[in-house]
């Protein structure tokens, strides 16, 4: 998956916005104003940070050693850095994006969940 495919996939999800809050080189995707994906635009190979269940994070880091690592500049317990243009199957990358998005949606307040449902 390349950066444009990643971006398009994220933006197609319900309630998602993109912004550059950390400067022009870091693209952030949020659902209901809560971050679920971060992408360094100048990093080669392309890598993204995605939220992940801590137990699953550990399993993924072992299974895909070097391609999925502890989150760069993030809480390493809850975030992974995923090298999306390397040997990872695109289906796995989309599953990880979905997982990150779902974690954030599940954590929304009742008020935000109601606003999300109304979209």
Confidence at 19, pLDDT banded by 50, 70, 90: very high
The closest of 29, 34, 25 to 7, measured between CA atoms, is 29
Q: Which of 25, 56, 52 is nearest to 37 (CA)?
A: 52
Residue 58's beta-bridge partner residues?
none
Q: What is the pLDDT of residue 87?
A: 84
Instruction: Using a pLDDT cut of 90, give the percent of the chain over it.
Output: 81
| Average pLDDT for the chain | 93
Alpha carbon distance 104, 1 (integer Å): 22
pTM for the predicted model, two decimal places? 0.94
pLDDT band at 47 (very low <50, low <70, confident <90, very high): very high
């Amino acid at each position: 998956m390349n950066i444009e495919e990643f971006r398009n996939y994220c933006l197609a999800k319900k309630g998602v916005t993109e912004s550059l809050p950390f400067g022009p080189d870091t693209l952030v995707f949020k659902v209901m104003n809560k971050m679920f994906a971060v992408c360094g635009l100048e990093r080669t190979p392309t890598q993204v940070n995605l939220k992940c269940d801590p137990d699953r994070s550990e399993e993924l880091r072992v299974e895909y050693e070097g391609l999925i690592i502890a989150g760069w500049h993030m809480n390493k317990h809850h975030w992974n850095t995923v090298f999306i243009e390397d040997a990872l199957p695109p289906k796995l990358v989309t599953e990880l994006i979905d997982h990150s998005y779902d974690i954030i949606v599940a954590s929304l307040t009742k008020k935000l969940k109601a606003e999300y449902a109304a979209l």
